[in-house]
Amino acid sequence: AGLENVLSWASWKAERGSSRGAPVGAAVARMLLSLLVLFVYLCLGAASMHALEWLREERIRQSDVEACRRRIPLCEALNDTLPVLGLLPSLRDFNASELSALVLHGCPLSEADVGSVCPVGSYSTFITNPWRFAPSLYFCLVTITTIGFGDIVPRSAGGKGFVIVYALFGVPLLVFTVQTFATTMLAIEVGTRPWRSRRSRQLRGLLRRCVGQEPRPAEPCKAERGPRTVVVLVVGMSATWGCILLFALYSYLTHDRLTVSKDFFTYGDAVYYSYIALSTIGYGDYSPTLHTDFLDSGQEGFVWLEFFVFAMFILVGLAIITSLVRTLAFGFEGHTEVLTQNLAENAGRITRVVTRAVGGGEKGGGH
């Protein structure tokens, strides 16, 4: 967690590159290339995790299903003895439905209850085997972004060893991708500044002509001047919270896919979940569990849509919040340097005044 602390230098370097006049087309090309490399790396990781974890999880699920089927005769016998249990003096005061729920808890009474009543597999938040390609892709993204929801984790020794090596190279790759994102946004801002300045001057001239005043000569565009800290801070905060609120709205409208009960999931919970995900804290109380059962029903498009929305939210949001953190850090650093310089100058003046006053007093006393 706390990936923006690792990425804080990225926006500073991006701003330096953009202030030197980096072409917008080249910045966009680098961003697209970095996204392509990141996607290929995620696909390689997903294919590897699928190969390492799929068979193991499938064997565990089949073993749990067989164990659940063997319990069906016993559960049927318990169900038949419930009327007799209700007649016992020690159980006569209990409600029949409560007694039935207690005795038959986790008991399958037919083949239809296998998999729904009994726990099957290593992951309670997935109906089917989660180590398919799309969920494995989601796992790799959550890993290299250091969010780590914990809803899907490697269980085999090979999978754990692979994650160690995969994250070792994946986290720096994500840093580079976020850096190119920030570079592109700043390059677009700097590259379009002259055009926006001309449009602004044309609009001001049109307004002056409409009120009967001649427009003043246009001032030259200072394209080399960077955005002020306050402006970048306001824009960054607005963009960050806009991204969080939009994803929170999407999560609230589709919250049946989250690992929480829909009866207790409010829009405030959605905002909290979005912020925890974007800040890479990842407590794990809410996680975007994919609908793996849709892969069996021919609705793969919905699963890929879930992954795409989450991936874009994380990548774009990290680029924005990293720029914001960088702006705060360097803005405070700049103000601190100015304050320190002013204090040093004032301290020097005070020292000279005190020295002169003490020197004059000594001369007067000696006189």
CA angle centred on 67, ends 61 and 71, rounded to 5°: 140
The pLDDT tens digits of the residues spanning 255-277 come to: 765 555 445 688 898 899 899 88
State the pLDDT at residue 116: 73
The pLDDT tens digits of the residues spanning 31-64 come to: 899 999 999 999 999 999 999 999 999 999 899 8
Distance CA 331, CA 32 (A): 30
State the pLDDT at residue 40: 96
Distance CA 139, CA 113 (A): 29
State the pLDDT at residue 294: 63
State the pLDDT at residue 223: 41
Whether residue 269 contacts residue 248, with contact meaning beta carbons closer than 8 Å, is answered with no
Distance CA 134, CA 309 (A): 13
Per-residue pLDDT of the chain (367 residues; tens, 9 = 90+): 445 554 554 444 544 544 444 477 888 888 899 999 999 999 999 999 999 999 999 999 899 888 888 888 888 888 888 777 666 666 666 666 776 777 777 788 787 777 777 778 888 767 788 898 988 999 999 999 988 888 889 999 999 999 999 999 999 999 888 888 877 877 777 777 676 666 666 666 655 656 555 445 544 444 444 445 677 677 778 888 898 999 889 888 877 655 554 456 888 988 998 998 888 888 888 887 666 666 666 666 777 888 888 888 888 888 887 777 666 666 665 556 666 666 666 766 767 766 776 665 555 555 5
Per-residue buried b or exposed e for 167-195, using 16+ beta carbons within 10 Å of the residue's own CB: beebeeebbebbbbbbbbbbbebbbebee
State the pLDDT at residue 35: 92
Sequence-separated (6 or more) residues with CB below 8 Å from residue 207: none
